[in-house]
Amino acid sequence: MTHKTITVGGLSRVEGEGALLVRARDGRIEDLELRIYEPPRFFEALLRGRSYTEPPDITARICGICPVAYQMSACQAIEAACGVEVTGPLRDLRLLLYYGEWIESHTLHVYLLHAPDFLGYDSGIAMAADHRDLIQQGLALKKAGNDLVAAIGGRPIHPVNVRVGGFYRVPSRRELAPAAERLRRAREIALRTVSWVAGFDFPDVEHGYRFLALRHPGEYAILSGALITSDGGSFGVREWPEHVIEEQVPHSTALHARLDGSPGYLVGPMARYSLNSAQLSPLAREAAAAAGLGPACRNPFLSIVVRAVEIVHACDEALRIIDDLAEPDAPYVPVEPRAATGHGASEAPRGTLYHRYRIDADGLIGEADIVPPTSQNQARIEADLRHLIEPRLDLPEEELATLCERAIRNHDPCISCSAHFLHLHVDSR
Amino acid sequence: MGASGRTPARGPGGARPRLAVWKFASCDGCQLTLLDCEEELLSVAAQVEIAYFLEASSAPGPGPYDLSLVEGSITTPDDLERIRHVRRVSTRLVTIGACATAGGIQALRDFADVREFLSVVYARPDYIATLDRSTPISAHVPVDFELRGCPIDKRQLLEVVSAFLAGRRPVVPPNSVCVECKARGNACVMVAHGTPCLGPVTQAGCGALCPAFDRGCYGCFGPMESPNVRALNRQLRELGMSTPELVRVYRTFNAGEEPFRQASEDADPELLGHEKAPGEDRGGRR
Amino acid sequence: MTAEARQPRAERDEPRPGLSRACTPVRPMTPELYRVRSRRADRVDTVTLQLVPVRGGCPPYLPGQFTMLYAPGVGEVPMSISGRASSGGYVHTIRAVGAVSGALCGKRPGDVVGVRGPYGTWWDIPAAAEMDVVVAAGGLGLAPLRPLVRELVRHRSRYGRISVIAGTRTPATLVYGPELARWRGNGVDVQVTVDHPDHVWKGPVGLVTRLLDRIVFEPRRTFAFVCGPEAMMRATADDLVGRGVAARRVELSLERNMKCGIGWCGHCQLGPLFVCLDGPVLSYERAARLLAVKEL
Amino acid sequence: METVVIRSLEPLIAELRARGFTVVAPKARDRVIRMDEIASESELPRGHGDEQAPGRYRLRERDDEMLFGFAASPDSAKRYTQPPSRTLFRMRGENIEEPEAEVPRVALLGIRACDLAALAVQDRVFLGGRHPDPDYRKRREALFLVAVNCAVPGGTCFCVSMGTGPKATAGYDLALTELAGPHRFVADAGSARGAEILRALPRVPAAEADLDAAERVSRTAAEHMGRQVDTEGIKERVAGAHDSPRWQQVASRCLTCANCTMVCPTCFCTTVEDSTDLTEGAAERIERWDSCFTLGFSEVGGSPVRGSGAGRYRQWLTHKFSTWFDQFGTSGCVGCGRCITWCPVGIDVTEELANLP
Ligand SMILES: Cc1cc2nc3c(=O)[nH]c(=O)nc-3n(C[C@H](O)[C@H](O)[C@H](O)COP(=O)(O)OP(=O)(O)OC[C@H]3O[C@@H](n4cnc5c(N)ncnc54)[C@H](O)[C@@H]3O)c2cc1C
Ligand code: SF4
Ligand code: SF4
Ligand code: SF4
């Protein structure tokens, strides 16, 4: 009888902190836990009693890596409750801001967190010793994203310019010009990035993922749309609660989300790409094809290529928007509170991010619910790990641990954004 | 305290000083700020050995560390232990951001019942180990410098790191946002359009961002050196802010800072009724 | 002593508005580089540095004046000149209390620092001629008084009785010990008191003012120079005035926050004065009223 | 040169630009009238006025064609003579280098009599002492000053009390008085280069009626000051009020935010900041605006001399109206009213002065 415990304590190069615990006996995995140390921060609770104008600023603080995503989902949920839709140039500006975050977040992951796995380094910084130009190019790409967010939002982390209904002030063309300039160079880098990462060695694995993502009739969905699944399902954002149920499972460390009754679906770049790749910008589609990606992608190790393709798309689309950006009449549309519940979802870099708010006639929040991508993927990541490990239990422990870490990083889990991951200190017996 | 680091931080034998980055309850934004120093990151890495930084590296080097940057607040019994460990292995400890410096937004639990908070989010609250307060690092261990902001400002972070390496006092002026606002050439939003603004009682550092975007400062850098919140509150009321709005505006990312706590309580003493009894230890500092 | 020091006071108190001078090519805020020639540790936290210019000569100074000393990359602070370096430069005695002073104290021979100055007013030594002289120091207040005493000793015969009284925290924190002994041998009455005696200390204990009873001077014909913490200076000056020394014959050296040393930054204002330009040395006649106002 | 009348500012703006000046003039932007770069007369705030009161500024529509129908803007000339921050020097190894001062060649079009008076005060501060500032001198000399005599003083103005306005009497290159019906400017030169530029413009000699009308504008303005100060014996009165309980009262309102000192055209205080470059160990020092309202300003030995708000407010008011005379032989206040308008809680120096014993 063999009994084996693999622990990867202090999971690195994921934003936030987590650990993996695997217990195996006789070649079978008995127990696998992706542990999250993230202490609970109670956002949904502390939002109650706040004004309907506050969630964009407050929920941004759930995650410093994708604050714009939180702001966008929050704004749209509240606007939906108040019966307002933000369209035209203001929506374009929102998209632009969002693309900035995508570029920044994806590049961070591709260059500093994920690529070192393929090239055998501990970190992007260590990698810079041998590949300084590469890392510098990645940093320039990342900066282009950050600069775009800062030009519109004021700063890259927790931007200050977003409000329910639009913006506080619309940046002038002059203010956007330097960011646009940088984007042009960034697009070139993004293209090079796709071919660079496409040349990595990828383990040959495929999973039968069930994907969930937004789809928008006119664009590769990021800011809004309706939800679709890879098994043909589709539903509107406001039907989310009927389809996605979050449960606290005693033997698990996180709230597990179930989609239409069953657990283990995936959101994020692979889901978006596999469901919507036809809507990518022509340049991004070309890059994907050249990189050998088909219309869908089910190898999690290839997610780095998908991210790179999405960066190309983001740069390309951002430039298109900047070039024909019209001056909005006002920086925001007025949003008057009314007693109602509103739902909002957008595609954070890591996947679909859903918000729901119930507000009263005075605009005070009675109830808030936030479902971040990482908590949705939690069960699926564990499943990936099981598949990966079970046939390889004979590998030396250290190697196995490294492999597991890599498998987790494929999904770029942003643990701090899991508004309500658990810290479980007792195992189930 | 203060930061009169007399000798530059250098590892033994003149080796590169060793930097560690730690995370407690937080959003990661402040440590991400280090990775957001795109133009400086590689130079920083050449000057300091980034010895422990889980967000960026899977090769955590062992202690001791010359400089530890600590993000996040203390909210769990385990973290209480961990921060003591961090202090033990760090020559200098600098907290980064509102969570580490004031308890962060999660300190709003201090004004409510944490059990109730738990039950709003979790079906089985009994699985959750959490403290009923979110406290700043300085409530538990001595801190050499506190860098404010939600999130911290990138230039200030670089300044603090280079000041500690050079052995000088970091240039982080504790005066009001107004000083930066005027230097930047903004028109005061309160005076020019009657928009309520916390700038006069908030510490500079962000570069007066909000007023530059036509909105009032919401205090994410915490109270300035001599905040006269009473005087500001009178003016904010003149500009039309209601009592609950006043209470809320101080109870966000720096609610745990005493002057802001005070300001929210001054705004509505009645709100104190269903909160913790006055005089009870608030787990804060100062 | 340079000729300037002999100028009567009126000439150095020119009204500034209207006074103009050709600009120097170097900005007044840019330091000249000086090299540490020698370093002597006076106490645990205090060192004396001899600084000599890296190139060119160094401008003359008068006892009581100060320089702005720059520890590269750390910062710049005012420091009294406590002597002339043997090869033409300045001597500074520095106590490490914070970042900049700490960095300066850490400088070794060969290291480079920045110097601007000398700045400020000086002790009115000529006015003390033919009089009894009382020099009172608290702690490191002895630093700017040292060149003054050396000047007095050099021209010993010009003055009546000369007394130096110094207060220090403990016997170990006293600076210039050997030099005090030399002054003693040169016709100067030197008395030292400590706040906290150790087991070997046999001298007086307590405030400097108590030493005034132990020295001999003719108040109406006395000139006094005082430097130390502000409370010590006020107490000493009040005591002297109470004994009949004219307030205009009591000079103090004040300490205020200084960022420029040349009247640009505004930090050192004391009512109508800029301590960097109108001070640091001031007669008690002018200073008494100002120091009496809280938070001026 | 005699006084002339010009019809339009377009030729003047073109001439200044042709001579290499960036023309900076009032513009309606960010809901205020601010000094900003312009290329043509059309960018001036035609038909805009302002309404100023303690702690309050509002842009207003005017029902006429006046280009300068408003009072002091939040910006004074200070930004151009003393920038908010500047690099003093850099040090690398044993080398010190002084970066060239940035000396913008700027024509300030539309500055007011109080601003000119403030420049004269600054000249005394930076050039009149033992240590003149060479950079200030350069920047000052690079400015071309086109004054516009005030027609509609703001609610917080008191230049008449301070003897500095509303009519510009000295210190300008050109001075204009805007007249309506027909819209025109009475212009005269205050310097040789002003006269030279004036000669290059289409102009007609001013008629008696033009001069009378211009005189009337300034007289009317003088009669409509929003505020006033009794300056009789003010230096002694303020200096003698050290112990007044009034300081405590104002301190209970004062935010110690420093806005008043930042907008004041004569407040000159600065601090320096030393930094080191992480890469190559190069050191740098910058100078930036500071204020007597900050705690660090008076810090000695780790604690401030002026710790209380009362002490800091007293320093500011006393400096402006009393000790400035001791230091620079002039008042530190020129009556522009900016500190009153831009104090977020509307603390009014004229009211505080009136209430001192
Ligand atoms: C005209 C003049 C002449 C002088 N001559 C001499 C001389 O000859 N020799 C000499 O040694 N000194 C002299 N000084 C004093 C000297 O200038 C100061 O000691 C020096 O400016 C201290 O600077 P620093 O950067 O080292 O310390 P700082 O960092 O400015 O700190 C100074 C003091 O404040 C404390 N402090 C700093 N920061 C804090 C904080 N955040 N909280 C609480 N406390 C804090 C420090 O512990 C220290 O006690 C003179 C001063 C003047 C004005
Ligand atoms: S003190 Fe006030 S009124 Fe006087 S010049 Fe300064 S800003 Fe203008
Ligand atoms: S009032 Fe204050 S900021 Fe202004 S010049 Fe005087 S001391 Fe400086
Ligand atoms: S007087 Fe007004 S502007 Fe000046 S510091 Fe006080 S509150 Fe701020």
Residue D347 has pLDDT above 50, yes or no: yes
Q: Are residues D187 and D267 in the same domain?
A: no
Q: What is the tens place of the pLDDT at every residue in D161-180?
A: 999 989 999 999 999 999 99
Q: Are residues C194 and C101 in the same domain?
A: no
Does residue D228 fall inside a structural domain?
Answer: no
Q: Are residues A144 and A244 in the same domain?
A: yes
Q: Are residues B161 and B200 in the same domain?
A: no
Does residue D229 fall inside a structural domain?
Answer: no
At D108, is the pLDDT very low, low, confident or very high (cuts 50, 70, 90)? very high
pLDDT at B3: 37
Domain count, chain C: 2
Chain B positions in Cβ-Cβ contact with residue C257 (cut-off 8 Å):
none
Q: Count Cα atoms within 13 angstroms, Cβ side, for A46.
A: 28
Q: Is D46 buried (19+), middle (13-18) or exposed (0-12) by CB count in 10 A?
A: middle
Measured by CA distance, the residue closest to atom 33 of ligand 1 is D301
pLDDT at B43: 85
Query: Rounded distance, CA C27 to CA C5, Å?
Result: 26
Q: Are residues A385 and A363 in the same domain?
A: no
Average pLDDT over every residue of D279-300: 92
CB pairs under 8 A between B and D: 137
ipTM of the complex, rounded to two decimals: 0.92
At A206, is the pLDDT very low, low, confident or very high (cuts 50, 70, 90)? confident
Does residue B172 fall inside a structural domain?
Answer: no
Q: Are residues D14 and D55 in the same domain?
A: yes
Residue C26 has pLDDT above 80, yes or no: no
Residue D264 Cβ < 6 Å to ligand 2: yes
CATH assignment at residue C160? 3.40.50.80
Contact A58/B at CB under 8 A: yes
Q: Are residues B181 and B157 in the same domain?
A: no
Percent of chain D with pLDDT over 90: 90
Query: Rounded distance, CA A309 to CA A276, Å?
Result: 13
Q: Are residues D190 and D238 in the same domain?
A: no
Alpha helices in chain D (DSSP H): 10-18, 78-81, 113-127, 134-141, 159-162, 192-199, 208-223, 234-239, 246-253, 259-263, 309-318, 324-328, 338-341, 349-355
Measured by CA distance, the residue closest to atom 5 of ligand 3 is D267
**What's the full length of chain A, in residues?**
429
Q: Which two tokens stand for residue D189?
A: 């030169």
Residue D257 Cβ < 6 Å to ligand 4: yes
Among candidate residues D159, D191, D222, the one where a domain is terminated = D222
Among candidate residues A340, A355, A377, the one where a domain is terminated = A377
Tell me the residue range of the domain where D286 lies: 234-354
Does residue B142 fall inside a structural domain?
Answer: yes
Q: Are residues B94 and B226 in the same domain?
A: no
Residue D320 Cβ < 6 Å to ligand 2: yes
Q: Are residues D94 and D210 in the same domain?
A: yes
Percent of chain D with pLDDT over 70: 99
Q: Are residues C68 and C186 in the same domain?
A: no
Whole-number average pLDDT of chain C: 89
**What's the full length of chain C, in residues?**
296
Q: Which two tokens stand for residue D7?
A: 């019809």
At C216, is the pLDDT very low, low, confident or very high (cuts 50, 70, 90)? very high
Does residue C109 fall inside a structural domain?
Answer: yes
Chain B positions in Cβ-Cβ contact with residue A141 (cut-off 8 Å):
none
Q: Are residues A207 and A230 in the same domain?
A: yes
Whether cis (ω within 30° of 0) applies to the bond prior to C280 is yes
Does residue C31 fall inside a structural domain?
Answer: yes
Q: What is the tens place of the pLDDT at every residue in B77-87?
A: 888 999 999 99
Q: Which two tokens stand for residue D156?
A: 């917080």
Residue D79 has pLDDT above 80, yes or no: yes
Q: What is the tens place of the pLDDT at every residue in B21-77?
A: 998 989 889 999 998 998 888 888 888 888 888 766 666 667 799 999 999 999 888
Q: Are A11 and B54 in contact (CB under 8 A)?
A: yes
From the CA of C79, how far away is ligand 1's center (Å)? 10
Among candidate residues C90, C119, C148, the one where a domain is terminated = C119
Does residue B101 fall inside a structural domain?
Answer: yes
From the CA of C192, how far away is ligand 3's center (Å)? 41
CA proximity to A318, closest of A106, A109, A118: A106
Whether cis (ω within 30° of 0) applies to the bond prior to C147 is no
Q: Are residues B132 and B226 in the same domain?
A: no
Tell me the residue range of the domain where B147 lies: 12-166
Pocket test for ligand 2, best of D333, D340, D350 (most atoms within 8 A of CB): D333
Query: Quick count: other Cβ atoms within 10 Å of Cβ D52?
Result: 24
- Residue partners of C194: CB distance under 8 A and separation at least 6: C167, C168, C169, C170, C171, C174, C201, C203, C204, C205
Q: Are residues D218 and D107 in the same domain?
A: yes
Q: Which two tokens stand for residue B51?
A: 């010895």
pLDDT at B115: 65
Chain A positions in Cβ-Cβ contact with residue B121 (cut-off 8 Å):
40, 42, 44-45, 419-420
Q: Which two tokens stand for residue A82?
A: 């108040």
pLDDT at A328: 93
Residue A429 has pLDDT above 50, yes or no: no
For β-strands C46-53 and B90-96, DSSP reports them as unpaired
CATH assignment at residue B144? 3.40.50.700
Whether cis (ω within 30° of 0) applies to the bond prior to B60 is no
What crossing angle do the helices spanning D309-318 and D246-253 adopt, rounded to 10°? 110
Q: What is the tens place of the pLDDT at every residue in C105-157?
A: 999 999 999 999 999 999 999 999 999 999 999 999 999 999 999 999 999 99
For residue C7, give the DSSP letter.
Answer: S
Tell me the residue range of the domain where C209 lies: 125-292
Ligand closest to Cα of D267 equals 3
Q: Are residues A181 and A247 in the same domain?
A: yes
Q: Are residues A180 and A324 in the same domain?
A: yes
Residue B182 has pLDDT above 60, yes or no: yes
**Contacts by residues A322-327 (CB-CB < 8 Å, ≥ 24 positions apart):** A322/A96, A322/A176, A322/A179, A322/A180, A322/A183, A325/A89, A325/A92, A325/A93, A325/A96, A325/A173, A325/A176, A326/A88, A326/A89, A326/A92, A327/A89, A327/A170
Contact residues of ligand 1, CB 6 A cut-off: B 2, 4, 169; C 66, 75, 77-80, 93-95, 97-102, 140, 143, 255-256, 258, 280; D 301-302
Average pLDDT over every residue of A11-28: 67
Whole-number average pLDDT of chain D: 94
Q: Are residues C71 and C154 in the same domain?
A: no
- Residue partners of C2: CB distance under 8 A and separation at least 6: C60, C62
Which residue in chain B is spatially nearest to C99 when comparing CA positions?
A: B4
At D70, is the pLDDT very low, low, confident or very high (cuts 50, 70, 90)? very high
pTM: 0.92
CA A304 centroid distance within chain: 13
Contact A17 B23 (CB under 8 A): yes
Pocket test for ligand 2, best of D338, D341, D351 (most atoms within 8 A of CB): D338
Q: Are residues B99 and B214 in the same domain?
A: no
Residue B14 has pLDDT above 80, yes or no: no
Query: Rounded distance, CA C11 to CA C19, Å?
Result: 13
Q: What is the tens place of the pLDDT at every residue in C36-90?
A: 999 999 888 999 999 999 988 889 999 999 999 999 999 999 999 999 988 889 9
CA proximity to B68, closest of B94, B97, B30: B94
Q: What is the tens place of the pLDDT at every residue in A86-114?
A: 999 999 999 999 999 999 999 999 999 88
Q: Which two tokens stand for residue A228?
A: 């679709």
Query: Quick count: other Cβ atoms within 10 Å of Cβ C74?
Result: 27
pLDDT at A399: 79
* Best mean pLDDT range from A254-258, A328-332, B126-130: A328-332
Chain B positions in Cβ-Cβ contact with residue D309 (cut-off 8 Å):
226, 228
Does residue D83 fall inside a structural domain?
Answer: yes
Whole-number average pLDDT of chain B: 84
Q: Is C58 marked within a binding site? A: no
Q: Are residues A299 and A313 in the same domain?
A: yes
- Residue partners of A428: CB distance under 8 A and separation at least 6: A250, A251
Q: Are residues D150 and D257 in the same domain?
A: no
Does residue C5 fall inside a structural domain?
Answer: no
Chain B positions in Cβ-Cβ contact with residue C75 (cut-off 8 Å):
168-169
Q: Are A412 and A350 in contact (CB under 8 A)?
A: yes
pLDDT at A396: 80
Q: What is the DSSP string of chain B?
A: ------S----GGGPPPEEEEEE-BS-SHHHHHHHT-TTTHHHHHHHSEEEEETTTBS-PPPS-EEEEEEESBB-SHHHHHHHHHHHHTEEEEEEESHHHHH--GGGGGGGS-HHHHHHHH-S-GGGB---SS-B-GGGTS--SEEE-BTTB-HHHHHHHHHHHHHTS------SBHHHHHHHHTPPPHHHHH-----GGGBB--S-SHHHHTTS----TT-B-SS--HHHHHHHHHHTT--HHHHHHHHSSTTTTSHHHHHHHHHH-GGGGGGSPPTTS--S---
CATH assignment at residue A164? 1.10.645.10
Tell me the residue range of the domain where A384 lies: 3-39+378-428
pLDDT at B108: 85
Does residue D339 fall inside a structural domain?
Answer: yes
Q: Are residues B125 and B25 in the same domain?
A: yes
Whether cis (ω within 30° of 0) applies to the bond prior to B151 is yes
Contact residues of ligand 3, CB 6 A cut-off: C 266, 269; D 261, 267-269, 291-292, 315-316, 319-320
Domain count, chain A: 2
Residue D124 has pLDDT above 80, yes or no: yes
CB pairs under 8 A between A and B: 201
Ligand closest to Cα of D274 equals 1
Look at residue D109 and give its three-state secondary structure. strand
Q: Are residues C55 and C103 in the same domain?
A: yes
* Best mean pLDDT range from A151-160, C203-212, D59-68: A151-160
pLDDT at D277: 82
Q: Are residues B114 and B28 in the same domain?
A: yes
Does residue B6 fall inside a structural domain?
Answer: no
Does residue B70 fall inside a structural domain?
Answer: yes
Q: Are residues B53 and B147 in the same domain?
A: yes
Does residue B246 fall inside a structural domain?
Answer: yes
Chain B positions in Cβ-Cβ contact with residue A41 (cut-off 8 Å):
25, 75, 104-106
Q: What is the tens place of the pLDDT at every residue in C225-256?
A: 999 999 999 999 999 999 999 999 999 999 99
Q: Are C94 and C289 in contact (CB under 8 A)?
A: no
Residue C25 has pLDDT above 80, yes or no: no
pLDDT at B153: 97
3-state secondary structure B54-92: CCCECCCCCCCEEEEEEECEECCHHHHHHHHHHHHCEEE
Q: Are C133 and C162 in contact (CB under 8 A)?
A: yes
pLDDT at A241: 94
Q: Are residues A355 and A243 in the same domain?
A: yes
Contact B5 C75 (CB under 8 A): no
Query: Rounded distance, CA A316 to CA A58, Å?
Result: 31
Which residue in chain B is spatially nearest to D286 when comparing CA positions?
A: B171
Strand partners, C176: none
> Which atom of ligand 2 approaches the CA of D338 most closely?
7
Q: Are residues C166 and C260 in the same domain?
A: yes
Q: What is the tens place of the pLDDT at every residue in D198-221?
A: 999 999 999 999 999 999 999 999
Q: Which two tokens stand for residue C262?
A: 């040349």
CATH assignment at residue C64? 2.40.30.10
Pocket test for ligand 3, best of D121, D125, D269, D271 (most atoms within 8 A of CB): D269
Does residue B44 fall inside a structural domain?
Answer: yes
- Residue partners of B99: CB distance under 8 A and separation at least 6: B24, B25, B26, B27, B30, B71, B72, B73, B105, B106, B134, B136, B150
Query: Rounded distance, CA C86 to CA C93, Å?
Result: 15
Among candidate residues D191, D222, D253, the one where a domain is terminated = D222
For β-strands D184-189 and D4-6, DSSP reports them as antiparallel
Does residue D227 fall inside a structural domain?
Answer: no
Residue D353 Cβ < 6 Å to ligand 2: no
Among candidate residues B124, B147, B166, the one where a domain is terminated = B166
Contact A13/B at CB under 8 A: yes
Domain count, chain D: 2
Contact B5 C99 (CB under 8 A): yes
Contact B169 C99 (CB under 8 A): yes
3-state helix vs strand vs coil in chain D, percent to 5: 35, 25, 45
Q: Are residues B69 and B194 in the same domain?
A: no
Q: Are residues C23 and C131 in the same domain?
A: no
Q: Are residues B114 and B190 in the same domain?
A: no
| Burial letters D333-344, b for 16+ CB under 10 A, else e | bbbbbbbbbbbb
From the CA of B105, how far away is ligand 4's center (Å)? 30
C97 to chain B, closest Cα gap in Å: 8
Compute the radius of gyration of chain D from its Cα atoms: 21
Query: Rounded distance, CA D123 to CA B245, Å?
Result: 47
pLDDT at D88: 95
Q: Are residues B39 and B160 in the same domain?
A: yes
Q: Are residues C130 and C115 in the same domain?
A: no
**What's the full length of chain D, in residues?**
357
